[in-house]
Structure formats: C-alpha cells, structure tokens
C-alpha cells in the first residue's frame, strides 16, 4: 500500500515512523490528499498531506468529550436520572450542527436539576481516556508545546482529565449547585465554538505565535472554528459535518496519529 501511494504521488524517500504502522513519504510537492484516499480504497488507514517545514506544532488545543475522553460526559451524567437516551439525542444533534450549542446545553442541564452531586463522581468513575490521549499530550508537552483542554463540557471533568493527561491548562463550563444538588443551570457565559476559537487565538498570542503554530483537534460542530483556524486542524472520528469540512481527519487510528502527522517517531513518544 505504501509503495502504491508513493508511486502515485511521485514520492521519493519512505521513512517508517513506526514499523508497519506509520510511514512518511517524501514528495517533491504537496500531494493531492483526495488522490491518496482514492488509492487507499477504503482501507482503515489515515493519511495527511503536510509541508515538511514547520510540521511540529507549538500549541495543542483539544476538545474533551469523544476526543480526549471516550463518550460524552453529559450523556453519562444523564444516565443517573434515567434520561441518557433523550439527552444523547440532543447532544448528537448539537454536535452535528443541527442545534444551537448554548441553547442545547441549557436544555440538557435543566433536565439534571436536583441531581445529587455524588452523581458526578459516579459518572467520572465510568469514563475512560481515548487511546493515545496521554501519549499525545505528554509528548507534545515534553517537546515544548503548550497544551490546553478546552471543552463545552464541565470543569468537574476537565480538571480531572487535565491532571491525568498533563495538560498545562483547561477551560470549560461550570455546573451550578446549591452545595448538595445541581440547580439545573450552567454559569454564564457559556463556552461555545466562538469561545474555543478565542482561546486558540489567545494561547497563540500568549506565546507570540500565529495560530498556524497550533494543532486543534475535536469531533463536534463547536470545534469547527478552531479546527479551521489552526495550522493543523484535525477532525477526530468526527461527526459528519465536521469530517466533511476538515482538511485533516483521523477516522481509524488512535490519537497518536496526530503525533505521526507532525513527524514524530514512535521512539520519541512519552507513553
């Protein structure tokens, strides 16, 4: 398969970043990614077409739900009140851009009114990290990148995920409570797609960089603005609207693919 792609794009040197798993093909000019995907013929292989210069990004900004974490924390929290199916349907429509994110978030949180705060801990105990999440964050951080978890989810979860993965920074929404139970409200202003884009720009400016120095990765419609703006914007196992609009996609591999896309060799990974 590598040989077929190399021939089709006029490639020269093939370098294995991970034996039998990830290969770099040096080309005289940027190849047509649509052609590469045609040659792959539906095989479970992800492909990127990137200039060799400047491949490694100095910033990582990542979504949390269904990107760094498996599944949606709000949907799992709704399971505590027997509303997972109902709330998950709203989540899916919101993430595919069919509903206004802020309106949909307020609607779903309102359904959790009166839920005991212990449900947050029970929900967290059921969540798992996406394969490759810690490796992605720790490797980029070890090589000098600033790493940020920016989510439309909630600080209760982003704080724990940030600690597990060694993100420098996390920002998300705040669930309101009365000290014992959820009030069914979320603090304003709500962190939405515009806020994620603003965070990307602020992080870049804080390091005196342009947004082309960033890797942004996410799966939902509220991630599209930052994915479009970042120098390397990746749709990760994304909703149809996001996959259709993002130039770069990871449809099959785990999150380590975002490191291979930057030219990291497997032996450089921080596992």
The set of catalytic residues is 63, 65
**Going by C-beta distance under 8 Å and a sequence separation of 6 or more, which residues neighbour residue 34?**
none
Enumerate the H helices of the chain as residue ranges.
2-8, 33-40, 73-78, 84-95, 101-110, 118-126, 133-142, 155-165, 193-206, 224-229, 240-245, 257-260
Q: Cβ neighbours of residue 54 under 8 Å, at least 6 residues apart?
A: 212, 213, 231
């Amino acid at each position: 398969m590598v040989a077929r792609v190399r021939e089709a794009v006029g490639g020269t040197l093939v370098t294995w970043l991970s034996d039998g798993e990830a290969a770099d093909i040096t080309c005289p000019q940027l190849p047509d990614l649509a052609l590469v995907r045609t040659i792959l013929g539906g095989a479970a292989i992800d492909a990127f077409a990137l200039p060799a210069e400047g491949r490694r990004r100095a910033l990582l900004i990542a979504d949390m739900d269904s990107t760094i974490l498996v599944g949606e924390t709000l949907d799992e929290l709704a399971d505590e009140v027997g509303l997972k199916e109902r709330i998950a349907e709203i989540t899916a429509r919101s993430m595919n851009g069919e509903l206004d994110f802020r309106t949909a978030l307020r609607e779903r949180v309102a359904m959790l009114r009166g839920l005991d705060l212990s449900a947050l801990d029970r929900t967290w105990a059921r969540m798992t990290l996406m394969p490759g999440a810690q490796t992605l964050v720790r490797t980029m951080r070890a090589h000098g990148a600033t790493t940020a978890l920016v989510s439309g989810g909630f600080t209760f979860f982003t704080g724990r995920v940030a600690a597990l993965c060694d993100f420098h920074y996390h920002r998300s929404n705040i669930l309101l409570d009365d000290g014992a139970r959820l009030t069914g409200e979320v603090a304003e202003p709500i962190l939405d797609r515009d806020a994620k884009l603003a965070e990307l720009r602020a992080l870049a400016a804080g390091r005196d960089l342009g947004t082309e120095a960033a890797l942004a990765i996410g799966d939902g419609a509220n991630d599209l603005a930052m994915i479009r703006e970042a120098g390397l914007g990746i749709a990760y196992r994304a909703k149809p609207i996001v996959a259709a609009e993002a130039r770069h996609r990871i449809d099959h591999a785990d999150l380590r693919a975002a490191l291979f896309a930057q030219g990291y060799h497997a032996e450089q990974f921080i596992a």
